[in-house]
């Protein structure tokens, strides 16, 4: 299945998708970043994947940025759009266009800790468990139907960094697995609910 991956940073989730691409039936046609400095762009180049940078600061509105982003994505006619650490709020026009085929990974056990600094916030809240969620992207920021989660225990001496590292290990396993379900045609979105093999998740 042809896919486009959107990133803003280090791209370690992108790397796990690249490493698993054959196994999960994914052909990454392009990687798009809103930041020129994103290390993930180098990872894409190493893997001979075309890259695009669309600097959001050069646009006066979210709508204009999303329009160019959408045009860039559509060149590749992807069947799946993967947000792998893409740190932008998207307009409803954009999310609605790709409903049912756009996925995001978020480093918390949603609906807990939407937004930023999830690891520190989990520590501050005294959580005993933390983790990662993969969800369909809808209008609501970090709020679309949840597909799968992985949990880690919060340890007494955890810092935000140590927790983030353990969650990332889970992210790198979970995201390719969910993408695989979709490339196999097992995962669908119906009436704001995710289904795997016809069973509501």
Binding site for ligand GAR (CB under 6 A): 7, 9-13, 40, 84-85, 105-107, 142, 168, 171
CA 123 to chain centre: 23
- Nearer CB in complex with ligand GAR: 9/144: 9
CB of 190: closest distance to ligand GAR in angstroms? Answer: 24
Q: What are phi and psi of 107, to 5 degrees?
A: -80, 60
- Nearer CB in complex with ligand GAR: 164/195: 164
Question: Cβ distance 123 to 155 under 8 Å?
Answer: no
CB of 173: closest distance to ligand GAR in angstroms? Answer: 13
The answer to whether 130 is a known catalytic residue is no
Interior CA angle at 118 toward 14 and 18, to 5°?
5
What CA–CA distance (Å, rounded) separates 189 from 193?
6
Residue least distant from ligand GAR (Cβ): 85
Which residues have a Cβ under 8 Å from the Cβ of 151 and sit 6 or more positions away? Answer: 109, 129, 130, 131, 170
CB of 105: closest distance to ligand GAR in angstroms? Answer: 4
- Nearer CB in complex with ligand GAR: 44/73: 44
Annotated active-site residue in 23, 52, 56, 106: 106
Q: Which residues are known catalytic residues?
A: 106
């Amino acid at each position: 299945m042809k896919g486009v991956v959107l990133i803003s940073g280090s791209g370690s989730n992108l790397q796990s998708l690249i490493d698993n691409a054959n196994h999960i039936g994914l052909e990454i046609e392009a990687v798009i970043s809103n930041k020129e400095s994103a290390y993930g762009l180098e990872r894409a180049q190493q893997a001979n994947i075309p890259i695009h940078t669309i600097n959001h600061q050069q646009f006066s509105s979210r709508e204009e940025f999303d329009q160019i982003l959408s045009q860039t994505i559509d060149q590749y006619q992807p069947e799946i759009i993967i947000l792998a650490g893409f740190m932008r709020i998207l307009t409803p026009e954009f999310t609605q266009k790709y409903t049912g085929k756009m996925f995001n990974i978020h480093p918390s056990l949603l609906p807990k800790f939407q937004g930023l600094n999830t690891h520190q916030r989990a520590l501050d809240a005294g959580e005993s468990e933390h983790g990662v969620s993969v969800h369909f992207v809808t209008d609501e920021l970090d709020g679309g139907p949840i597909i799968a989660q992985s949990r880690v225990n919060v340890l007494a001496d955890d810092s935000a960094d140590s927790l983030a590292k353990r969650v990332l290990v889970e992210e790198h396993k979970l995201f390719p697995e969910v993408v695989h379900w979709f490339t196999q045609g097992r995962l669908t979105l119906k009436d704001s609910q995710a289904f795997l093999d016809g069973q509501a998740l």
